[in-house]
Every structure is written in C-alpha cells, then in structure tokens.
Structure 1
C-alpha cells in the first residue's frame, strides 16, 4: 500500500511548492536570484494561478521583466491579461505609507480572494525582502510578520516565497528567518542536496541528473557503509524534481551489490517507482520500493 506524505519536508526544490506553502530562499548573487523567480512564475502560470512579483525595489522594472521573460517573451500575454502582475510592497500597502503586518496581510488575503473570483486556482507571490530597507521598516516588525502569518496560508490557495539577500541582512536575521519558514528552497536550479530525515533515511533533494550523478552515487556508497551494522538503508527520492536514468541505474546497481544488508527501501513517487521497476527494480532481492502519495 502506498505511504502518505506527512508534509514535514523543510528543504525542497521550488518545483515542489504547493498552495499553502510559505517558503524562504536566500541568495548572495545578483545572477543566481533570478533562477527561482523565473521558475516560480512560469510554474504558477502553467498551473492556472495568478502570480504577483514584488522584486527588489532597487532593480529597474525593465530588468525585472527581461529576467522573467528570458529566454523568450512568453510571459507577455500573461501580463496583458492580468495573470502576472509585477508590483511593489509600497503599492501593496497603499494608501498607507508605513508598513504594518496587519495591512500587508489584509491586502494579500484580498488579492487571493480576487484571484479566485477572477477564475484562477489561487495566488502565488514572490516577495524580495529588499522592500524592508526601501520602506524604512523595522526589521523586528518584519520578523514578527514572518512568524505569525499562518492564517494567510492555512487551507487557502496562497503560496509565498520570501527572498532574503544575505548581503543586506544580518546573519542572525537570515538564519532565524530560514528556520522560521515552514519551507526552505534550494537556491539554485539544477543542484542536488542530501539530508538525513529524523528516521535516518538518506534524502535526496533537487536534481539527480547527469551533472550530479557522481555525487548521487557517492552519497549512496557512503550511506551503505554507514548502515552496514544495522543491515538496512532507507533512501528517499520524493524531494527530487528530476531523476535521470543513469542515477536510477546506479541506485539499482548498488542495491543489488549491498550483500551486507537485509533491506534497501526506496521511497519514491509514482513516476520514480515506475522507472525503477522498468529498469529491473523488481529483480533486486533486497530492494523494496515504497510509493509515497503527495497531497496534490
């Protein structure tokens, strides 16, 4: 029987965001920051959501639009029909001139309701926190908003990314905000990270593609060595946005060679399980494929 996702994942790729998610992303490079923005915008448009982008106030509007559109002008029609809106925090809280959490959250609730009334499945917002300095807002007030905004998300079709430039904020603020958000995003598209789940499972996050195949295989070999005394390894693939055939074959090969183990369990989504079985996963004696059903 398929296992059900508990929704406890903290670090995820941007492609795994779903309605109700409140996510943190940090950046320290002016080029890198646009990767998550562009992916977030395009995914929202494809899913029939309304998309609100509040970029860093210091970035010229023409550059924002060029970055979102790169490498084509595919978002022009979305802007023309009002599905994609590039705005600012100053406009969000207007006619107020001083930021208050209550005003901001009230407006975002209104915008979410307006989006669904207009026929969209929900609203997603990308908010670059550069607005804090631009409006002369108190950082402590901003932090309290970030940690008490649950009503914006619970049971509502609203998704938000808060982007923090590590060069603008004290390290303690960035660290605190990363911990406070229910979700943290990989900063770069195409990257691969590993983590240990509370139950000891080796979790892969991001892209297990050709560029990351060596790192993927190395992490599996290390995990097999560490779990030899327990004779059991659990691998979680469900936070991968992409799993290449090469990485999948490498996983099956190592599982087949894990003679010192009694069990290698692989938690995977439906597509990953189908790929692994087609590649011969059903013939590996120690391997158990556990399909995880996500709630979207």
Structure 2
C-alpha cells in the first residue's frame, strides 16, 4: 500500500472529500484530468468557490476544466498556472518572482477569504504539485508546506487536494508526505472555545503518522486543550499512544479528551491513567 493514496476508483473524489486535506498520487495524465474534473464539478454543484493551481505546462487542461463546468457562476471557478515570469498582464498565473511556502499559504488565505466574502458556502482548492519542483521547493519546503497547510485546511468549509505525479516525485518523498496527511479516513477541524481540535473517522496505520502534526496545531496553547474524539470510530495503539504522549508533554496544562468507550479503553491501555494532565470524558458529557 502506498503511503500517499492512489487516485482512482477506490478514492471518492466528491462530497466525501469536502472539509479535508488529502494527498493523492497519480501516474497518468488522463487520470489526473478526470480527478480534477470530478472534484470541480461536485464542488461547483455544492456552491463552493473552486480554484485549481496547475503546472506551467497545463494551459490546455485549465481550458478543458473550465469548459466542463457550464453551470459555474461567473468567477466561481478559476484555474491558475505557475509562472515565475513577471509582466504577464491579464494572464491567469501565479508564482511571479520569489514564491515559497509562506507566499503560497498567504495566497491560499487570500483566495479563501475572497470566496467567503463573496458568499460561497465553501472553498475547494486542488494543487498540481509538479510546479513546486520548477519553483525550487526542497524536500524540507514540501514537508513544511504540507504540515503548515493542515492548519489552513482545519476549517471544515475548506477542502484541499494535493496531487503528486509519481513520475516526478521519489517514492521516499511521497512516503514522508503521506505521513503528515490525515488521509481520506481521518478528518480534523479546529474551532470552538480555546484550543479545540475535533477528530472524526478512523485513526489507524494508514494515517497515524499525520497525528503529531495535527496535534501540533494546539500544542502551544496556554489554555486547556479539548480533543473531541467523540466521533472517532477507531483508534489503534499507535494513535492512542501519540495522544497520551501529547498530554504528557503538557504537564502543567490539561488535555481533555472527549471520547467513546472504545477509544477510552485504548487510551487507558497505553497509560492514560499515569498522565495527570490527561482528563478523559464521556462523549455525551459536558466538559
């Protein structure tokens, strides 16, 4: 099994992806085109603003995607191509001048805020990651981007799909990228009072490597951290251990985990009761 999931029949690129940050690998141009077309069509139908960031050689694909969305409202769909060149007035491009991780995430934030200001119910973003190699992103840059993007995509109204071409990215790098992604089985959202992190779905060997970077989103909080796992259907020993170690790393600030019986038992089996700062609460109880 690949650490980064395959694009294809086993991955439902539709409403099931909404509100998630997912990476997929592909190795055929047709597969990539069909993947983006399906995501864009469903996101437009759901009332989302849709933005696709493409490699500089993908101008034809951008036009194909636009033509496949006859029902999109003016401005609802945009395909941008990477280009480091300046002075392209009117060109649908991004990446002029120096363009790194910080600039990329700032651009995401601007596009998201514009979408919500315009009244869209959601913001769906897909990125053809091939352009990052042309822009000179190092392995460190890519991992920093994927980790920091988790915070951006923690908004349940925002969907992120990062697409890696197996023909251009090394297997070892894809494995490391997969480790910081929650994947299609696990969903997380930030919000609520104080430092509130919600986990839903399943936490297992396919995605447990992403949990430390997700917990890092609230690690520096000076307040109580509420980890709402009440809709987490399954957690394996590795995931439970990561949660317990996270609470132990904050000995002077409580970590409250709201969870169902099965998750509570898993946490207890890996030493939750030995961590004074970890407080377990039933999923129907108030905190």
Superposition TM-score, scaled by structure 1 size:
0.52
CA–CA separation in structure 1 for the residues paired with 2:60 and 2:26: 21
How far off is 1:118 after superposition?
0.6
Distance 1:170 1:120, change over 3 A: same
Distance 1:89 1:157, change over 3 A: farther
Which protein has the larger Cα radius of gyration, Structure 1 or Structure 2? Answer: 1
State the match for 1:75 in structure 2: 69
Provide the secondary structure at the position in 1 that maps to 2:178. Answer: helix
State the match for 1:130 in structure 2: 130
State the match for 2:174 in structure 1: 174
Does the CA-based 8 Å contact 1:92-1:104 persist in structure 2?
no
Aligned residue runs from structure 1 range 55-134, under 5 A: 55-59=54-58, 61-66=59-64, 68=65, 73-76=67-70, 78=72, 81-90=74-83, 91-94=93-96, 97-134=97-134
How far off is 1:198 after superposition?
7.1
Answering whether residue 45 of structure 2 is matched by residue 52 of structure 1, we say no
CA–CA separation in structure 2 for the residues paired with 1:198 and 1:48: 30
How far off is 1:104 after superposition?
1.2
CA–CA separation in structure 2 for the residues paired with 1:102 and 1:32: 30
Distance 1:62 1:198, change over 3 A: closer
State the match for 2:280 in structure 1: none
Deviates more, 1:155-164 or 1:37-46: 155-164
How far off is 1:89 after superposition?
4.2
Unaligned segments of structure 2, at least 5 residues: 1-9, 84-92, 186-201, 205-232, 234-287
CA–CA separation in structure 2 for the residues paired with 1:155 and 1:175: 25
CA–CA separation in structure 1 for the residues paired with 2:107 and 2:31: 29
Deviation string, structure 1 residues 200-252 (Cα, Å, up to 9, x no partner): xxxxxxxxxxxxxxxxxxxxxxxxxxxxxxxxxxxx9xxxxxxxxxxxxxxxx
Superposition TM-score, scaled by structure 2 size:
0.54
Aligned residue runs from structure 1 range 236-255, under 5 A: none
Aligned residue runs from structure 1 range 119-268, under 5 A: 119-155=119-155, 157-184=157-184
How far off is 1:93 after superposition?
4.4
Unaligned segments of structure 1, at least 5 residues: 1-10, 186-196, 200-235, 237-296
Provide the secondary structure at the position in 2 that maps to 1:149. Answer: helix
Distance 1:198 1:37, change over 3 A: closer
How far off is 1:179 after superposition?
2.6
Provide the secondary structure at the position in 2 that maps to 1:14. Answer: coil
Superposition RMSD on alpha carbons, in Å? 2.7
Does the CA-based 8 Å contact 1:28-1:167 persist in structure 2?
yes
